[in-house]
């Protein structure tokens, strides 16, 4: 609970951040920047969890742990994604999403 | 302080997804993450803020920067996105943001006023506890997930002999 | 109470031998495996003898008690309905322990010579051990379910042994036949014990067979198709027993099972597996007698019919092992008759005692006959009687031992078969005259066909052999001599003091008129055989001619196999399976193919949506999520 700042402030920020992430996911060409957008999305969700935890149920820690686990999952996801990206780069010498459509058939 | 951090977050988020240079976008993301850690500090979750800085800002972003350096040139500029992508992103934003904000602002939250400080000991016992409020099972799950992803990353990224001959 | 804890070893030694040979057998020389198997069994044999001595002779008690050295609950359904695994010692199981280990040891020993140089020698020995293990587990079972488990194991291991020459199509077919027929019968057994357990709430033999027990009260008044539930249960159990014992109409597997190596026939198809059915009926005898006397009568008639039927067929067969196989059927029929005509307790329980006695003596002389036949086949390299004749000069030991066995089976005193067979006839005479006359005729036929075999092999025409037949090696002669001694003298064992229906000894009365009658018909049969087959002549052919069609029918085993084939092929396959197959092929498959085609066509049409572009998908995903949220808002809010 911060003096003068309500839960709505936080939620507005985090939802804006979420949609910026989505927009980035859709418009970016490079696989790595898509990964960055995903990080943005994950982060906004983590903020949400924490804010709910702090403002609504401050005597418990569920939201806190969820954020912790989100960070863990993000780390795992980033490592696998980067491994995939590097592998794709080796094969087609580029990581633009428009080039990676061989699975469509 | 909150307004400063929010501004940083929003501005750098936008710059992350608009800058044409990949490396810069990663650096902007770093700022976003650090500002988020600042928000955690504001909310009195010091431990999580520390984790955010060390793991996210320190680990993941560095990893991403490495991979950027491996896969593209620093000076390389990204092409402008195709129009249909801009359109679809615009539609998502125009529909999505008002919708979500409308939902949020229309909802009355039952705020709780009591302030409980979060100490490290509590986090530790709850994280490894098996009773009520114990999180040992997800904890184990995430450790297995991390191990698996580590192995997967190694397997996928490893160059096998066949590939070498091709390249 | 004396200590019987070592009896567990009797069961476990063959099992460990099986594991040892099965796992490591191919690393050693074949002979090593053979000797390991034989030695292991020798130990089990000695332990069984010790058990028998301790059980029967060391204790001075009047009535033999049931002793359970090992018992643990394996599966517990309710307080009383439990599946136990353990060892139960009572007169018949101790007797069976001795029989099984004796015959098995002899077979092991004999095989050292007979199977020498065969491919898969160590495999053969590991299977033999497995079979012995299963059979021993069966006879000591303290409850019906353990018995059933080992029933199946016996069936499986006999499948392996019959199909030992798995390169031969006929052996494979015979193995399959034996397995399927006995498995089919075992299904009856399973249903039977489940019904029984449902009503009585127990599998335990001790509870089931206690005279005057009230546990069957639950089933009182419940009938199905004119017979009570317990009758059905016991009848179905008898079906299982009949399958294992190759009673009519399940007898068809036994003659074909002769495709296995001859010592296997001696072990499985003469002495052990086929008497498992008799053993089962004997084990449950009090239940049969007190609860379902109607089924017991059925047992007697099935036994009587099978014994006569098989004896008639045995007369016309040319393959010596098949003659012996049908002879086995006939003798097991005797045992079933013995049980069927028996009463419970004391002098009245003569049939039960006689049946067990016959089981014991039959195991000895029939194993001897089979091993003798094995010895002959080893020398002549043929199963067919036409290829033999005048062998007495070449194989004196085999000749003498075979003669002993033949005299024993014919019931000529003082050989063992006389005592047991005579007591069965006496029991039948007291209770059921029809069965008595059937068995009486069968006795004559028995001595006739067995001496037909004997004269044809050892006398008859003196013929030239391509390579002169030679007497078998020492390792094969010892089991023959041992079994010949057994076949000659086990008849003097005081069985009426040892194995009785109520486990109390009783005094037998010798019925001299019956003795004279049965011996005379035996001698008559022998004389007739001597008259026909002593020298090569045209008389048998003339008689066969005279019987004409009857002979042909008998030679083809009354076409029972053909009837089965007709039923399965023509009726089952054509009338049942064909339409089902047609339905399957055209309706079910058609439906599946149709589904597949529609899917393929549809996917062809909509493939265009799949651009493979990540961001299109992402947009679709976001749009979908937004639409869902909007519609939810619309409907709820």
Q: What is the CATH number of the domain that holds A34?
A: 1.10.287.3510
| pLDDT over 50 (residue B167) | no
CB atoms within 10 A of CB B120: 9
Q: Looking at residue C141, what is its pLDDT?
A: 86
Contacting residues for C486 by C-beta, under 8 A, at least 6 apart: C102, C364, C368, C416
Chain B: nearest CA to A77, how far in angstroms?
A: 7
Size of interface B-C (CB pairs under 8 A): 20
**Is B149 part of the contact surface with chain A (CB cutoff 8 Å)?**
yes
Q: Return the residue of C nearest to B103 by Cα.
A: C633
Beta-carbon neighbour count of residue C427 at 10 Å? Answer: 28
| Contact (CB<8Å) B103/C626 | no
Residue B161 is predicted with a pLDDT of 54
Residues C85-122: tens digit of each pLDDT = 888 888 888 888 888 888 888 888 888 888 877 778 88
Compare CB distances from A25 to C607, C612, C618 and report the shortest one's residue: C618
Q: Considering only CB atoms, which chain C residues are within 8 Å of B88?
A: 615-616, 619
What's the start-to-end Cα distance of chain B, in Å? 53
Residue C22 confidence (pLDDT) above 60 = yes
Instruction: Note down the domain range covering A61.
Output: 7-92
CA quadruple C87, C90, C93, C97: dihedral sign: positive
Q: CA torsion angle for C477, C483, C489, C493 (degrees, to 10)?
A: 150
Residue A95 to residue B70, Cβ atoms within 8 A:
no
Contacts of B134 (CB under 8 A, 6+ apart): B126, B128
Q: What are the CA-CA distances from residue C310 to residues A24, C303, C306, C368 (Å)?
A: 90, 10, 6, 20
Average pLDDT, chain C: 80
- Read off the pLDDT of each residue in C226-244 and give the average, rounded to a whole number: 83
Contact B115 A58 (CB under 8 A): yes
Q: Is the pLDDT of residue C36 over 80?
A: yes
User: CB A98 to CB C618 under 8 A?
Assistant: no
Give the pLDDT of residue A104.
Answer: 46
**CA–CA separation, C384 and C310 (whole Å):** 19
User: Which of A27, A101, A105 is nearest residue C613 as measured by Cβ atoms?
Assistant: A101
pLDDT digits (tens, 9 = 90+) for C367-397: 888 888 888 888 887 777 777 777 777 788 8
CB of C42 within 8 A of CB of C105? yes
Q: Dmax of chain C from CA atoms?
A: 111
Give the residue from C421, C280, C428 showing the smallest Cα distance to C343. Answer: C428
A99 located within any domain: no
- Spatial distance between the Cα atoms of C141 and C579, rounded to a whole number of angstroms: 45
Q: Is the pLDDT of residue A20 over 80?
A: yes
Q: How many angstroms away from the CA of C164 is the closest CA of chain B? A: 48
Strand partners, A5: A2
Burial of C356 (0-12, 13-18, 19+ CB in 10 A): buried
Residues in chain A with CB shorter than 8 Å from the CB of C613 are 97-98, 101
Phi-psi region of C404 (alpha: psi -120 to 50; beta: other; left: phi over 0): alpha
User: What is the C-alpha separation between C410 and C418, in angstroms, rounded?
Assistant: 7
What tens digit of pLDDT does each residue of A59-98 get? 778 888 888 888 888 888 888 888 888 887 777 776 666 6
Question: By the 8 A CB rule, do C436 and C429 touch?
Answer: yes
- C629 and B95 in contact by Cβ < 8 A? no
Determine the residue of chain C that is closest to B99 in CA distance: C630
Q: Do C612 and A34 touch (CB under 8 A)?
A: no
Q: Is residue A40 part of a domain?
A: yes
Residue A88 covered by a domain: yes
- What is d(CA B91, CA B114) in angstroms, rounded to the nearest whole number? 41
Q: Does residue A69 fall inside a structural domain? A: yes
Q: Give B104→chain C minimum CA distance, Å.
A: 13
Q: For an interface test with B, which of A28, A42, A67, A98 has the most B Cβ atoms less than 10 Å from its Cβ?
A: A28
> Is A62 inside a domain boundary?
yes
Q: Distance from A98 to chain C by nearest Cα, in Å?
A: 6
Please check whether residue A105 lies inside any domain of the structure: no
Residue C258 pLDDT grade (very low, low, confident, very high; cuts 50, 70, 90):
confident
For B97, name the nearest residue in chain C, comparing CA atoms only: C626
The pTM for the full model equals 0.63
Residue A15 counted as domain residue: yes
Cis peptide before C414 (omega within 30 of 0): yes
C614 vs A100: CB contact, 8 Å cut-off? yes
Name the residue in chain B with its Cα closest to that of C625.
B96
| Cβ–Cβ gap A22/B93 under 8 Å | yes
Q: Is the confidence at residue C176, as pLDDT, over 50?
A: yes
Interface of C with B (CB under 8 A): 615-616, 619, 622-623, 626, 629-630, 633
pLDDT tens per residue across span B107-121? 887 777 666 677 777
pLDDT at A9 over 70: yes
B4 φ, ψ (degrees, to nearest 5): -60, -50
pLDDT at C86: 83
Most confident of B35-44, B123-132, C226-235, C609-618: B35-44
The band of C83, judged by pLDDT with boundaries at 50, 70 and 90, is confident
* Element of type H or E holding A55: helix A31-56
Which residues of chain C does A27 touch, with a Cβ-Cβ cutoff of 8 Å? 615
Give the model's confidence band at A45: pLDDT under 50 very low, under 70 low, under 90 confident, else very high.
Answer: very high
Please indicate whether, in this complex, the C-beta atoms of B92 and C622 are within 8 angstroms of each other. yes
What lies within 8 Å, CB to CB, of B46 at 6+ separation is B40, B118
In C341-415, where does DSSP find H-type helix?
350-380, 396-410
Angle between the N-to-C axes of helices A31-56 and B61-71, in degrees from 0 to 180, rounded to the nearest 10: 170
Residue C257 pLDDT exceeds 50: yes
State the pLDDT at residue A100: 63
How many C-beta atoms surround the C-beta of residue B91 within 10 A? 15
Residue A26 is nearest to which of C610, C612, C615, comparing CB atoms? C615
The answer to whether C251 touches C178, Cβ cutoff 8 Å, is no
Report the complex ipTM.
0.84
Residue A20 to residue C305: CA distance in whole angstroms: 93
pLDDT at C621: 86
Does residue C249 have a cis peptide bond before it, meaning omega lies within 30 degrees of 0? yes
Environment class of B105 (CB within 10 Å of its CB; exposed 0-12, middle 13-18, buried 19+)? exposed
pLDDT of residue C49 exceeding 80: yes
Residue A1 pLDDT > 60: no
H-helix or E-strand spanning residue C88: strand C82-89
Q: Which helix (H) or strand (E) holds C444?
A: helix C433-458
Alpha carbon of A101: minimum distance to chain B alpha carbons (Å): 16
pLDDT at C162: 86
Q: Which residue of B has its CA nearest to A19?
A: B93
Q: Which residue has the higher pLDDT, C218 or B162?
A: C218
Query: What is the per-residue pLDDT for A105?
Result: 43
Task: State mean pLDDT over C550-554.
Answer: 67
Q: Which residues contact C534 (CB under 8 A, 6 or more apart)?
A: C455, C459, C460
Overall number of domains in chain A: 1
Give the whole-angstrom CA distance, residue A35 versus residue A77.
Answer: 9
Chain B (93-112) residues lying within 8 Å, Cβ to Cβ, of chain A: 93, 96-97, 100-101, 104-105, 109-112
pLDDT tens string C184-219: 888 888 888 888 888 887 788 877 777 766 667 666
With respect to residue A50, please indicate whether it lies within any of the assigned structural domains: yes
pLDDT tens for C483-533 read 888 888 887 777 777 777 776 777 666 777 778 888 888 888 888 777 777
* Chain A positions in Cβ-Cβ contact with residue B114 (cut-off 8 Å): 58-59
Enumerate neighbours of A (3 or more CB pairs within 8 A). B, C
């Amino acid at each position: 609970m911060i003096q003068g700042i309500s839960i709505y402030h936080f939620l507005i920020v985090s939802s804006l951040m979420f949609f910026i992430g989505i927009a980035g996911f859709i418009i970016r060409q490079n696989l790595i920047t898509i990964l960055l957008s995903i990080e943005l999305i994950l982060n906004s969700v983590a903020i949400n969890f924490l804010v709910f935890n702090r403002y609504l149920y401050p005597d418990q820690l569920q939201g806190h742990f969820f954020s912790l686990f989100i960070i863990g999952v993000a780390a795992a996801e980033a490592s696998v994604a980067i491994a995939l990206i590097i592998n794709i780069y080796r094969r087609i010498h580029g990581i633009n999403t428009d080039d990676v459509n061989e699975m469509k058939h | 302080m909150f307004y400063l951090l929010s501004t940083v977050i929003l501005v750098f988020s936008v710059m992350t997804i608009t800058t044409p240079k990949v490396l810069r976008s990663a650096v902007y993301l770093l700022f976003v993450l650090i500002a988020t850690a600042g928000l955690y500090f504001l909310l009195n979750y010091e431990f999580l803020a520390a984790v955010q800085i060390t793991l996210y800002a320190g680990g993941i972003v560095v990893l991403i920067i490495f991979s950027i350096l491996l896969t593209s040139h620093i000076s390389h500029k990204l092409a402008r996105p195709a129009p249909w992508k801009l359109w679809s992103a615009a539609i998502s934003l125009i529909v999505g943001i008002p919708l979500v904000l409308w939902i949020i602002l229309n909802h009355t939250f039952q705020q709780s006023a009591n302030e409980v400080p979060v100490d490290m000991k509590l986090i530790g016992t709850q994280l490894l506890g098996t009773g009520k409020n114990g999180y040992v099972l997800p904890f184990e799950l995430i450790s297995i997930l991390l191990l698996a992803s580590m192995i997967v990353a190694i397997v996928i990224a490893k160059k096998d002999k066949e590939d070498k001959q091709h390249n | 109470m004396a200590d019987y804890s070592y009896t567990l070893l009797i069961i476990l030694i063959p099992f460990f031998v099986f594991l040892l040979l099965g796992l490591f057998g191919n690393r050693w020389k074949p002979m090593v495996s053979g000797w390991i198997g034989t030695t292991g069994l020798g130990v089990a044999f000695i332990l069984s003898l010790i058990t028998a001595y301790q059980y029967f002779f060391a204790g001075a008690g009047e009535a033999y008690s049931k002793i359970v050295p090992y018992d643990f609950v394996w599966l517990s359904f309710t307080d009383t309905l439990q599946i136990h695994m353990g060892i139960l010692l009572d007169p018949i199981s101790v007797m069976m322990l001795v029989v099984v280990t004796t015959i098995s040891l002899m077979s092991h020993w004999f095989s050292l010579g007979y199977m020498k140089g065969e491919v898969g020698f160590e495999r053969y020995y590991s299977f033999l051990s497995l079979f012995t293990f299963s059979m021993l587990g069966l006879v000591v079972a303290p409850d019906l379910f353990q018995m059933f488990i080992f029933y199946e194991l016996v069936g499986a291991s006999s499948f392996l042994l019959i199909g030992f020459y798995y390169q031969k199509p006929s052996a494979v077919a015979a193995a399959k036949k034996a397995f399927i027929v006995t498995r089919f019968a075992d299904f009856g057994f399973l249903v039977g014990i489940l019904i029984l357990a449902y009503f009585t709430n127990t599998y335990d033999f001790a509870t089931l067979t206690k005279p005057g027990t009230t546990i069957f009260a639950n089933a009182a008044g419940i009938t199905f198709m004119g017979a009570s539930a317990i009758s059905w249960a016991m009848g179905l159990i008898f079906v299982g027993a009949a399958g294992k014992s190759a009673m009519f109409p399940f007898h068809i597997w036994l003659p074909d099972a002769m495709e296995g190596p001859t010592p296997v026939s001696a072990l499985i198809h003469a002495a052990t597996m086929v008497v498992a059915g008799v053993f089962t009926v004997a084990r449950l005898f009090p239940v049969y007698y007190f609860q379902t006397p109607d089924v017991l009568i059925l047992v007697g008639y099935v036994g009587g019919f099978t014994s006569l039927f098989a004896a008639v067929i045995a007369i016309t067969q040319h393959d010596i092992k098949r003659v012996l196989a049908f002879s086995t059927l006939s003798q097991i029929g005797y045992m079933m008759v013995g049980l069927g005509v028996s009463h419970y307790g004391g002098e009245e329980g003569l049939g039960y005692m006689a049946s067990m006695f016959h089981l014991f003596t039959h195991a000895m002389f029939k194993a001897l006959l089979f091993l003798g036949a094995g010895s002959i086949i080893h020398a002549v390299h043929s199963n067919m009687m036409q290829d033999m004749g005048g062998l007495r000069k070449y194989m004196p030991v085999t000749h003498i031992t075979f003669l002993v066995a033949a005299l024993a089976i014919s019931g000529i005193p003082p050989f063992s078969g006389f005592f047991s067979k005579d007591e069965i006839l006496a029991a039948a005479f007291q209770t059921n005259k029809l069965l008595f006359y059937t068995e009486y005729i069968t006795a004559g036929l028995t001595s006739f066909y067995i001496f037909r075999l004997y004269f044809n092999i050892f006398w008859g025409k003196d013929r030239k052999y391509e390579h002169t037949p030679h007497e078998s090696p020492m390792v094969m002669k010892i089991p023959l001599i041992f079994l010949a001694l057994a076949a000659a003298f086990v008849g003097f064992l005081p069985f009426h003091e040892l194995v009785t229906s109520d486990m109390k000894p009783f005094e037998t009365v010798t019925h001299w008129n019956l003795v004279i009658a049965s011996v005379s018909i035996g001698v008559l049969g022998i004389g007739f055989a001597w008259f026909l087959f002593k020298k090569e002549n045209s008389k048998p052919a003339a008689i066969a001619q005279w019987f004409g069609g009857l002979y042909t029918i008998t030679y083809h085993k009354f076409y029972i196999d053909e009837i089965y084939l007709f039923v399965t092929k023509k009726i089952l396959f054509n009338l049942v399976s064909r339409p089902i197959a047609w339905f399957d092929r055209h309706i079910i498959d058609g439906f599946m193919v149709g589904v597949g085609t529609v899917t393929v066509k549809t996917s062809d049409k909509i493939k265009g949506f799949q651009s493979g572009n990540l961001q299109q998908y992402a947009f679709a995903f976001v749009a979908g999520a937004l639409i869902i949220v909007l519609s939810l808002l619309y409907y709820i809010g």
